[in-house]
């Protein structure tokens, strides 16, 4: 494996494109961890297959998998989906894979963030996480992309970019004690500018209630175009998410992006509230890794957790009372793309959704 570049994307003229820009592929990782995915991960694997198959007509998909699960994954995925033996500790490719940057002239490089399972020894979800931390370098190698090794902890779900110099993130996540306790807000902003080639950081206070990633931005909002953001929203003032979404709305309304634009905000309904059932909790194996799953636990459901592909947007179906409304809003936001709903509850039970388990490679 080649050594990382001793520089930064910003210094070399590279920056991260928006997710809505053209892709040459999408990466995912196969779920199998029994202390996170119920019933030996069988239902989760079915859900991951549905996501991969929904994305594949738009973006070529690569699925990483352990040697023990290779035959299972290969038999359940379409022949056109590439399956590679690369082991991981769990299956959140958005967070363990690299963030890709381009130079506008055909150059592609990868940013390999430090990963510590969303909080390390302070409030991380499992240990060890060394195979997850090694994933970005492996993906970059397969893609033939030189890589930068960022000197701080960050996950791909903790950031959104607009491709025109703006980064969106949450204070709850990036200023958490478990990630970079030696870095203050100014140092984090400098790191985001250097490794994403950005100019402006837009902070929202908190993410979705009880999101165990400590409030990833990709679960409360999604950047749909430069200056356009979809925001998870509930009108129910008695729901604790209302306060969080209102804080985010106020922060976005008072901000300007890197081009000086006011930010257009489109509200997406919050599903539910949704809760883990006793049957679902009973199917999860006890483990020593640190994760906790219990009946009655509120799930951090969000329609903002979708994937923008070249020709389609793939979003999670989570609540029959709101699925159609979410699809309609997404169709207005992406009139030139097909809107494809896939069953999202099994992924949600593990702690995330469609965006969390995917990572795009820009063209």
Q: Which residues are identified as catalytic?
A: 356
Tell me which residue of 214, 167, 160, 218 sits closest to 194, measured CA to CA.
Answer: 167
Q: Report long-range pairs for 80-87 (Cβ below 8 Å, ≥24 apart).
A: 80/56, 81/52, 81/53, 81/56, 84/142, 86/29, 86/135, 86/138, 86/139, 87/131
**3-state SS class at 68:** helix
Tell me the two tokens of residue 292: 């906790």
DSSP 106: S
* Separation CA 26–CA 23 (nearest Å): 8
Tell me the two tokens of residue 280: 């679902």
Q: How far is CA 237 from CA 138, 206, 240, in A?
A: 46, 17, 7
Residue partners of 93: CB distance under 8 A and separation at least 6: 27, 28, 29, 64, 135, 357, 358, 359
Tell me the two tokens of residue 312: 């389609």
* Alpha helices in the chain, H assignment, sequence order: 9-12, 42-55, 70-76, 93-96, 120-123, 130-143, 171-174, 185-196, 240-254, 278-282, 323-333, 345-349
Question: In angstroms, what is the C-alpha Rg of the chain?
Answer: 19
Tell me the two tokens of residue 239: 């729901």
């Amino acid at each position: 494996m080649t050594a990382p570049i001793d520089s930064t994307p910003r210094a070399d003229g590279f920056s991260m494109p928006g997710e809505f820009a053209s892709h040459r592929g999408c990466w995912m990782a196969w779920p199998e961890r029994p202390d996170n995915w119920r019933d030996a991960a069988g239902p989760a694997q079915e859900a991951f297959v549905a996501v991969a198959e929904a994305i594949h007509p738009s973006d070529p998909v690569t699925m990483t998998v352990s040697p023990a699960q290779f035959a299972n994954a290969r038999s359940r995925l379409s022949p056109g989906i590439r399956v590679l033996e690369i082991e991981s500790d769990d299956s959140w490719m958005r967070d363990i894979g690299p963030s890709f940057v381009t130079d506008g002239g055909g150059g592609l490089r990868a940013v390999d963030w430090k990963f510590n399972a969303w909080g390390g020894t302070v409030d991380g979800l499992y240990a060890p996480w060394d195979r997850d931390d090694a994933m970005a370098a492996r993906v970059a190698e397969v893609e033939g992309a030189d890589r930068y090794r960022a000197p701080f902890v960050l996950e791909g779900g903790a950031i959104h970019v607009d491709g025109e110099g703006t980064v969106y993130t949450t204070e709850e996540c990036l200023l958490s004690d478990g990630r970079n306790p030696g870095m203050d807000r100014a140092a984090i902003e400098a790191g985001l500018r250097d490794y994403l080639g950005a100019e402006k950081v837009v902070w929202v206070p908190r993410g979705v209630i009880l999101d165990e990633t400590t409030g990833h931005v990709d679960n409360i909002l999604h950047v749909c175009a430069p200056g356009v953001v979809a925001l998870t929203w509930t009108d129910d003032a008695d729901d604790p998410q209302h306060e969080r979404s209102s804080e985010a709305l106020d922060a976005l309304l008072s901000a300007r992006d890197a081009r000086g634009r006011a930010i257009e905000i489109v509200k997406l309904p919050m599903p539910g509230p949704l809760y883990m059932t006793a049957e679902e909790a009973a199917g999860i194996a006890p483990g020593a890794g640190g994760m906790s799953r219990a009946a009655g636990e509120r799930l951090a459901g969000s329609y903002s957790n979708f994937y923008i592909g070249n020709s389609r947007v793939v979003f999670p179906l989570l609540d029959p009372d709101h699925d159609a409304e979410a699809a309609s809003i997404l169709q207005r936001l992406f009139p030139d793309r097909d809107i494809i709903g896939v069953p999202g509850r099994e992924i949600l039970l593990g702690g995330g959704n469609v965006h969390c388990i995917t990572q795009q490679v820009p063209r």
